[in-house]
Structure 1
Amino acid sequence: MRTLNCIIVDDEEIDRLMATSFVKRYPYLNLIGVFENSEEAFKVIQNQAIDIAFLDIDMPTLNGLDFRKQTLHIPVCVFITSHPEHAVESFELEALDFIVKPLKFDRFDKTMQRIVEFLEIKHKAQLFESSIGGDIFYIKEGHNQTKVKLHDVLYLEALKDYTLVVTNEKRHCVLSSIGNLLKEVHFQSFIRIHRSYAVQKQYIKKIMPYEVELHNNKHIPLGRSYKDSLNVIL
């Protein structure tokens, strides 16, 4: 297991100390920082690649859920909280696990096992292969590799642990979350407009209150939390 950079964000001192003590039991975890609020954490992660974020939810100013919405580039998110009612919303934000306080080591260790398995699968999957042509990538479908032209992709649609890569001719299903897929070099031209959808910026024809219209007249839902960032980028 390679070294994994992680952060802990929790406004409760005892909980921060407990989580810190557990993290230090794993030699492959590199604790970049322990923070009592999200604002302090943001200052550090701007210049540091983070693999895992252990987050509390109920925090002043910017809670853990809102922090996660702005840090979806972090591959693994684990919520550690006293509020089990937020479980559904946390998994909608691609959380890998949700731990209810008080934090205990046996439960934390199960989470670490899930993290290791998740990262190993992600590494071994290698869903895509770069080609000489920058507009071409390959999708593994069973034992075969299908060549897809990037400019033919209309949008990406999340489907639980899978993502649909949708073209005019076909819908390709790949074993990867939409968040992880958007980190791939081939998909830098895509923008998230909904927790379940991402589109190519140049294909956006019109932005409406609740949906986006593409140049082929296809209408895609527009999430409220993504609308402001979409207007800024465009």
Structure 2
Amino acid sequence: MQTHLYFINNELEKQFIHYHDFIQKQIQKNFQYYLYQRNGITSKIRLSQIYYIESLRHQIIIHSINGEMIERKTLSQFNKEIQSLDFIQIHKSYIINKRFIQEIKNQEVILKEQTHLPIGRSYKESLKEQN
């Protein structure tokens, strides 16, 4: 049995406009970049390729599909620069990309590449609200 689809012309045009806007937003979201700077060299990192960011002393470690990158910056500075709703702070030392969350447990978040990160007490509520 074959399925036949029938469209009303004015509805089809509305659907195309809706999906065009949706697809355009998804493309823009997937191709947002962060400018990583180290030793005078600037590189672009796609935000969609970053698993999580770790704060260690006065620097951050960006854990991504391409490996680890270290930069002298605070987590709050990083968060202000990217201005992305895909990232959420779960601990005073960790910001994660929500796209890579596999499981949220009581005390930790497990990312898809099997990294276990602790959840800070003061961040539990905001993590629940985000999911």
CA distance in structure 1 between the aligned counterparts of 2:122 and 2:63, rounded to whole angstroms:
23
CA distance in structure 2 between the aligned counterparts of 1:147 and 1:211, rounded to whole angstroms:
30
1:218 matched to 2:96: no
Deviation per residue, 1:51-70 (Å, 9 max, x gap): xxxxxxxxxxxxxxxxxxxx
Q: TM-score with structure 1 length normalisation?
A: 0.41
Shift of 1:153: 0.5
Partner of 1:200: 97
CA distance in structure 2 between the aligned counterparts of 1:186 and 1:203, rounded to whole angstroms:
18
Q: 1:215 to 1:195 in 2, by over 3 A?
A: same
CA distance in structure 2 between the aligned counterparts of 1:222 and 1:196, rounded to whole angstroms:
10
CA distance in structure 2 between the aligned counterparts of 1:224 and 1:200, rounded to whole angstroms:
19
Shift of 1:230: 0.5
Q: 1:176 to 1:187 in 2, by over 3 A?
A: farther
Alpha-carbon contact 2:51-2:63 (below 8 Å) kept: yes
Partner of 1:165: 62
Structure 1 residue matching 2:80: 3-state secondary structure: coil
5+ residue gaps, structure 1: 1-132
Q: TM-score with structure 2 length normalisation?
A: 0.69
Alpha-carbon contact 1:205-1:214 (below 8 Å) kept: yes
Partner of 1:231: 128
**What amino acid is the match of 2:78?**
L
Query: 1:68-79 alignment to 2 at 5 Å?
Result: none
Deviation per residue, 1:172-205 (Å, 9 max, x gap): 1112110121111354421000010010112211
CA distance in structure 2 between the aligned counterparts of 1:145 and 1:188, rounded to whole angstroms:
24
5+ residue gaps, structure 2: 1-29
| Percent of residue pairs bearing the same amino acid type | 27
RMSD over aligned CA atoms reads 1.8
CA distance in structure 2 between the aligned counterparts of 1:136 and 1:177, rounded to whole angstroms:
18
Alpha-carbon contact 1:181-1:187 (below 8 Å) kept: no
Partner of 2:71: 174
Alpha-carbon contact 1:150-1:186 (below 8 Å) kept: no
Deviation per residue, 1:205-224 (Å, 9 max, x gap): 11111110112221111112
Deviation per residue, 1:67-126 (Å, 9 max, x gap): xxxxxxxxxxxxxxxxxxxxxxxxxxxxxxxxxxxxxxxxxxxxxxxxxxxxxxxxxxxx
CA distance in structure 2 between the aligned counterparts of 1:174 and 1:187, rounded to whole angstroms:
19
1:146 matched to 2:53: no
